[in-house]
Structure 1
Amino acid sequence: MELDMVPVVLPKAAVPIVLPVPPGGVKVLPRWAEEDEVSRWRLRYRPHVKTDVGSEFEEGASWVELELRNFTRELPLSNLDFGLVHDFMVAIQTPEGWSDWSVPAQCEAPPPHPPGKLSALLPRVLDLSSVKVRWTPPLDTATVAPGLKIQHYKILVTWVPRQGEDPAACSREIILEDEIDSYVVTGLDSLTDYTFQIAAENAAGWGELSDPTVPVQTVPPVPITLSQPTLRRATHHSAVIQWQHPPFSEAPVLSFCFRHTSSADWSNDIVDIHDVPPTLSQYVIQGLKPGHVYIFQVRAVNKYGMGIWSDSSIPIRTMDGATPSAIEDLAASEIYKSFIRLKWQPVEENGYPITGYRLRYAHTEDMAEPVEAVPAVVRDKGCDTCDIRHLRKLTYYFQVAAINHLGMAEWSEPVLVDMSKAGAFSQARAKASTDSKAEGTKPAAGKSAEELREKGNALFREGNHSKAVRVYDEAIRADPKDARCWANRAAAQMAMLSEFGQGLSPAAMRTNPYFTNSMNDLTESLKLDSTYTK
């Protein structure tokens, strides 16, 4: 544009300093002395045009004129035509008036350069096959110069060669034409390390590629998050969990995992259960505590790894604990002279392990004046058993009760044993089954009393007193005149009394079957050999 004409009253102004400023710009610095007291100055510029050597400028060429205040001592100009020489003239205003235009200074606007190197991309994994990358546009985009405008972006995706893959083919370029600052790269494979770079292009060409990102892997195709499981049929220690399988995929489910907790926020008491077969859709969770509220989660596992835990199930409460149930089907399975074996089905624990048993007997059905003892109970072929020895030829009524840490169960129904008929019973039993394998009815075939006694001694030293008593029984039947067998069985029964009779009063101790049986065995040993002591 042109400003209004002003009268010229002073000589020409000093030639300005004009510096090229890439790209497509210059910086004009007018010159004057402080004593000139310049208040304003004007700039005039246009492309340099000559008609012939040494001539003035072509009359038809137009000038661009600007007027500025004295405090502007340098003026940047941009968007000049690249590769053309421009002329720049300056005039100044002092208290005496305006000067004439200076001699033209000439300067060529530098051509544009390719965009600068961008910062490294910021990748973010979205799913199994896509990654979103973001970047900061180069500073060149801040100008409106046509040559500096970003025309394209190029994203370079590279990956480590997979087995049998040509390394030269392990990259691909993505050209973007829109002015954007993010892009979603798709078609990626899981479990592959990818790096990403970006470069920008303007009229001068492509800029340098950015530094590669750190290697990025897409989310492996682990199973999807399952629906929350459902729970049912809670007992004292267990519950049945049911769940839905994930949809079929190229990576089949290898197993399921569960976890449960009795805390509402999964902060403690967490138990994991692994390797549940993939063919199941319900499973019995064991090991729960009675009277506790639990929540459960489930997830699937395939060759790529574990899925995310499902939402927590609706809370479920296990049954409250109680004392054991009463023993049922108590029976005398073995009767032999002064020995019997009581047998019953294992009781319901009702939430807590059985810690012991109590046994009592009386000679009348109303269980008047019962004698209590602590029996040595052994699990044999799915049934609980205890042996009672040295009974007299009387009628007995026996009852047994189980104990857990909440207390003792009710007594079982009494079982009647008439020892006055024990001899006839054993003879009939021996006649009916001469090859009976019932433990405690006859000595082991081919073993002497000496061998059986040594076996019992080994069991005694191991602390297995109940089995030691049974082996000594066999040794006595093999040689009833061996005083050592009788004395050793007495010692084993006293050890059982010491083990199971804690808490009994002295009077109860003296009436306990282990004590009375032990005294009877000692008496028999002394009858056989009065010089033998144990």
Structure 2
Amino acid sequence: MRGPAVQRPTVRALTACSLLLLTATACGGGSHAAPPADRTKPSTPAGVSAQAGSATSVHVMWSPSTDDRGVTGYEIYEKGKKVKAVAAETTMADVDRLAPSQAYAFTVRARDGAGNLSAPSAAVAAKTPAPTPDDRKPPTRPTLLRGTADGARSVTLSWQRATDTVGVTSYDIYQEDSRIHSVPGTETRTRVEGLRPGTVYTFTVRARDAAENSSQDSNSLDLTTAPGPGKGPSTAPTGLTVTARAEAGERTLRLRWTQPRTGGEVKEYQLYLNGSFATTIAWGAPPEPGPVTYTLTVTEPPGTRYTVKLRAKLPDGKWGDFSAQRTVVGAGS
């Protein structure tokens, strides 16, 4: 005799919508919409200027643009034809391979990450000077470079005029070994913008003529920008001097500097030579307060040019700000 029939649950096939519901994604209108496409153009670059730097080059500068999601670069055009592109953090560029004694007109456009281009800036004109192929004599060096920091992001520089057998066409401003700005040869004063807060900068100026001959560096000038919001005093070593020596066949660089005020002990420094990390300077115990010295042995031939800067390891383990950079020529015969 059979027992009562067992009622088994009915298994129904799950629809696509049911599966979506089980995964917490609603059907029909509940899905997350993709972010809207970026169709907003950056603002048009302003403050554009152009100055012939030589018979075959023009230096173009402009003020930064803005964008709702960020500017990613700039494009420079000459009468509608793109001649150069630079990264977003750059607001100046040299346009090379131009013809002498030629008039040019430049515009600048900003680009964002979606490829949107701003409207062209106002056109600025520049004319390259005539070539001077036999001119091989550089201008004299600019002298008496002076300046002041104008807050956290700019400095003002001035210098005494250089001379040249044909004529100075421009002055190039260098920060350490990088050219960051140029002005016409008729000017001896400029403002450099786009700097970082609480940072020490070492400036020099060189004069340049139409044949691309550059003078020797002016005197160097150290300027420290004001700290930005939330940033304390500079942690850079100060008063750095570097002296080249040659004794008993050994060539050395003798460094002397004043330690930064960090609120604690500094036992370690990083030394950079010619822009690259060279060595760590460490003491078994913290040096006495006041100036400290260090001697570095070098093996390059006499007359080698060295650039030197250093930074301290702070009590919290982070590396501090770099000192001003110093340039010296190796001693010896």
Q: TM-score, normalised by structure 2?
A: 0.30
Higher helix share: 1
Max Rg structure: 1
Q: Which has the higher contact order (CA 8 A, sep 6+)?
A: 2
Q: TM-score, normalised by structure 1?
A: 0.19
Higher strand share: 2
